[in-house]
Structure 1
């Protein structure tokens, strides 16, 4: 097998994660699992990791077609989460933030050799490709809602899709912010004067931290989630789906009696 074919072959790890996601989704849909919350947890977490891998793959694939052939040798096209430059930032921290806070944290990045690429539009498109994948994922997750196809969809699966859509929308919005270190800044950076880019460059590692620091400010947090809710409403997803989706996802709350009785009643009814 040639090196090129090996570097393009889909990772067994990614296929395993996708398989677990599919089985968990089936368990949520059919009610096969005794612990619905645990099945929802596996389904949403698995789907979220799949979306993170696709986000990074989109950056790499766009870079490849723009002239950076090095992404192939780095294994970025295999969808293997362990191949990315910052596995901790790309996979581990986003998953932890979902578990703790129910928010789609933008992941780390693949390393693109920008010097191999010419043309400002190409650089912008490489940066935009990742969050556009989150947008597409959100559209797919919410398709039953905005197409009016919820008849026959089990409530637990509906809640899981609503929460997964919330994660994708928050990730897309955060990623598209024109803040150094985020993809949104990568979109506009090629169009900025060289002097400004040089001045901003030292702050790039702290951009994401600054954004999450601001989200702790109640007024900023309210504006952000109002925007997220507005997008979700436009896609047909209500607050009940996202709220109960998060509540059911945190299956361990049942052990401590912290689950919302309203969501539990909806599922039992």
Structure 2
């Protein structure tokens, strides 16, 4: 078996990622303490930076799983450094997901690490590589909602609470959309190894348009309502109420006039 020489630089966390993590920490502190005069700005910076961190971890999970499944070329491509600038399509993995959050509050699935599938043997490994990314979003959602379902929110400032709720909403939407068995999304990548070669050939031309088709369908009001009802149901099961996500989105889009949110009503 051919192996590639391990280099520490291939796995060293990039300064770009560390910078984004630092912005997350500082803006989270500002949202918690009320240091910023504009709570919405602090929430915007915190949620955006944390969202980018989650996108980087999503791609890292794909890459790391591929490395352990046999694709030894991953390290040389820079995917293990968590540097978003190393992705094959930074536009798809970072820029578009951030724009969709800013415009509409939807966690757009990213996905732009190039994996040499020919190096990987076994259908289960291929499926696991595809599932690793959205499972990271699931884990991120669990962490964000932990204070809610653990009933550990006493003393948590409202602005930070709402920011966590909105960030959790983004992670849940990203996980659900990514797991859809539609060509071009990770959900299809999970089932693809188990399909016949003929079906895969027929579906392959539609892969570049799968994500566009999903969002076109989500523009249909009735479908959009059902989708977000499902999101609210998942978040509700995790202890996050619609009040929290609503004001999280309002604070996040502070340019529309929402700079402060009212305290949450006592239950």
Rounded Cα–Cα distance in structure 2 between residues aligned with 1:119 and 1:33: 52
Is the counterpart of residue 219 in structure 1 residue 219 in structure 2?
no
Ranges in structure 2 where 5+ consecutive residues have no aligned partner = none
Aligned to 2:175: 172
- Report the Cα distance in structure 1 between the residues aligned to 2:261 and 2:134, rounded to whole angstroms: 33
Residue number among 174, 184, 188 corresponding to 2:187 in the alignment: 184
* Secondary structure of 2:263's aligned partner: helix
The match for 2:205 is 202
Instruction: Tell me how far 1:3 sits from its aligned partner.
Output: 6.6
User: Quick check: which one's helix share is greater?
Assistant: 1
Q: Deviations over 1:214-253 (max 9, x none)?
A: 0011121111111111100000000001010000011111
Pick the aligned partner of 1:6 from 6, 9, 26.
9
Deviations 1:92-127 (A, max 9, x none): 000000000000000132000000000000000000
Count residues in correspondence.
Answer: 260
Go from structure 1 to structure 2 and tell me whether the alpha carbon gap of 1:227 and 1:199 turns closer, same or farther (over 3 Å shift).
same
2:137 to 134, 138, 142: 134
Unaligned runs of 5+ in 1: none
In the alignment, the residues of structure 1 paired with residue 221 and residue 263 of structure 2 have an alpha-carbon distance, to the nearest angstrom, of: 30
Length-normalised TM-score, structure 2: 0.95
Q: Distance in 1 between matches of 2:42 and 2:256?
A: 14
Distance, in Å, in 1 between the alignment partners of 2:235 and 2:40 is 23
Q: Aligned-pair RMSD on alpha carbons?
A: 1.2
**Which of 223, 244, 264 is the equivalent residue of 2:261?**
264
- For 2:190 and 2:159, the matched residues in 1 are separated by 38
**Partner of 2:166 in structure 1?**
163
CA distance in structure 2 between the partners assigned to 1:45 and 1:126 by the alignment: 26
In structure 2, how many angstroms separate the alpha carbons of the residues matched to 1:242 and 1:265?
13
